[in-house]
A and B are shown apart, each in its own frame.
Chain A
Amino acid sequence: KAGVTQTPRYLIKTRGQQVTLSCSPISGHRSVSWYQQTPGQGLQFLFEYFSETQRNKGNFPGRFSGRQFSNSRSEMNVSTLELGDSALYLCASSFQRGATDTQYFGPGTRLTVL
């Protein structure tokens, strides 16, 4: 079974631009969560989508948004990029959205904001 895939793997943008990242979950998985990883803050939860609806949101500004499609694929968008948005963005999928469901991570998208 193929794992979680994320595209693109690397991205360079400038301040003020916007960016869209894509995530394809493991086949059959319906829940997709997004995390931001930085050296200073570690791994922080952004949001979770299940059945095309955002079910949970972390403590990030409204510039961070996402959506999920009927095939469970998900995208996240960051508008008006800031230097501090440079990070590894990780997507994780799970079969359901229970608190004990195992989350499997993709390789991440490395975003650099100049």
Chain B
Amino acid sequence: GENVEQHPSTLSVQEGDSAVIKCTYSDSASNYFPWYKQELGKGPQLIIDIRSNVGEKKDQRIAVTLNKTAKHFSLHITETQPEDSAVYFCAASSVWGGKLIFGQGTELSVKP
């Protein structure tokens, strides 16, 4: 069935360091991969997304890479700041529109 594995479950870095979160998906038909940031008491907020015709996408300090052959994609945050501390979720689209399959989340802690 459809499944997305996300690692690590927790990640602690020093301010200014880089953070990398990795996800693997099972459905080879998936072609859309968003990343969400969720802060305490809030809903998930889209931070970046990538579609399967692109291998890498960057937006300021955030980048996502996609390897369709290996069925994995990663989130890279450079020059981390304390305000980056949150839970990050990766997701993959289902062939059935309107449905996202989510990873289990990564709790990122950026220490000043």
- The interface of chain A, by Cβ under 8 A from chain B, is 4, 31, 33, 35, 42-45, 48, 50, 55-56, 58, 90, 92, 94, 96-108
Residue contact B32 to A50, C-beta cutoff 8 Å? no
Residue contact A99 to B102, C-beta cutoff 8 Å? no
Residue contact A99 to B95, C-beta cutoff 8 Å? yes
Looking at the assembled complex, report how far the CB atom of A22 sits from the nearest CB atom of chain B, in whole angstroms. 15
Interface size grouping (class) on chain B:
20 to 34
Distance, CA A56 to CA B96, complexed state (A):
7
Distance, CA A28 to CA B103, complexed state (A):
29
Does B43 touch A at the CB level, under 8 Å? yes
Contact residues in A for B105 (Cβ distance below 8 Å): 42
Looking at the assembled complex, report how far the CB atom of B30 sits from the nearest CB atom of chain A, in whole angstroms. 8
Residue contact A102 to B46, C-beta cutoff 8 Å? yes
Distance, CA A55 to CA B98, complexed state (A):
8
Residue contact B89 to A31, C-beta cutoff 8 Å? no
Residue contact A99 to B32, C-beta cutoff 8 Å? yes
In the complex formed, the residue of B with least CB distance to A96 is B97
Contact of B93 among A31, A100, A104 (CB under 8 A): A100
Contact of A105 among B31, B44, B95, B104 (CB under 8 A): B44
